[in-house]
Amino acid sequence: MGLSLTSSAALHLGLAARGAACLGRGLDGQELVLDGGEDLEPFASDAAEAAHIVALRAEALDLTSAPPVARLAGRWNVPVSVPRQAVHEAALSALAEIFGSNSAQLLIGHGTDLGETMDLMAAIDAAGAARSIGLAWEVRPSSQSLDDAGAVLLAARERLGLVRLHGGGPEQHDQNGLGLGTLLVELALSQYTGTTVLCPSAPDQIPRWHAWLDSRKPTGCGSGNDAKEHFLDVRNVEPRDRLETILGAYKNLAKGATLKLTVDHDPSCMYYMLDGTEPAGSFQFATTENGPEVWRAEVKKV
């Protein structure tokens, strides 16, 4: 499960500079938000522009604007997400044909509401569009309850192509206690392999994101660090947030680096999590102290 950044969080940077800033923050790439009025054909003919782009975002989409967007997505082999209100159900069949003919995928946004999610899936099925149209989960912990998150994930996981997290990054600490940690753990356990796009929760938060991208201080989701050893003691972290904290620290390791972990319980659950979600041979795990009050483990990314 990779982390990326929406381009609307850093419009003060050009495409290449934003990509470099993402890499500097330990992120896998960027979601490119299309403004709806630009000529996409030059993009489609220049593969170099696709460097570090993991998804496209269209805030509006109709049968006229869809073909060039689908061509670009097919060329770059990335999905396109749109808000649900931007797509008319009557157009789903035609949109599926447009995206399918370009070997591209359209992902329609939904919130953390089980009824809304089921209604959207039913509309896609009724249009016979399931092969080319999937789901993009818009997660808004600051304004939307995550009580239904587990049920939504269970219902949608086979069609889920993208998670757009409104928060994280410099806002991570603002989300404490809102259920985000549990959600991220459930995503990992479900073996979700798509990307998670970090988005500002509101326009007035964007200056914080600018400062976060410009800084190299390791805070929040996606912070990068080139040190060979990283020490993490989670004994004082809330139990519900521990696994998220540990997995986040592992995610941000550079290849060859080692996470030295201190916990107050058997850390083998981390081994089983990594074994089920990471490629074979991509990590080395060793328990170095076996309680009964303190356990320590070392995890090396190889």
Structure tokens at 186: 């459930």
What is the arithmetic mean of pLDDT over 172-179? Answer: 73
pTM reported for the whole predicted model: 0.73
| pLDDT score, position 70 | 95
Over residues 53-108, the pLDDT tens digits come to: 999 999 999 999 999 999 999 989 999 999 999 999 999 999 999 999 999 999 99
| pLDDT score, position 222 | 42
The CATH 3.30.110.40 domain(s) of the chain lie at 229-301
- Best CA proximity match to 192, nearest among 220, 165, 218: 165
The CATH 3.20.20.150 domain(s) of the chain lie at 2-214
- Best CA proximity match to 266, nearest among 300, 246, 289: 289
Over residues 250-288, the pLDDT tens digits come to: 877 888 889 999 888 888 878 877 877 788 889 999 999
Q: Domain 2-214's class? A: alpha beta
| Dihedral sign of CA atoms 44, 47, 51, 52 in order | positive
Q: Specify the CATH superfamily of domain 229-301.
A: TusA-like domain (3.30.110.40)
Per-residue pLDDT at 221 exceeds 70? no
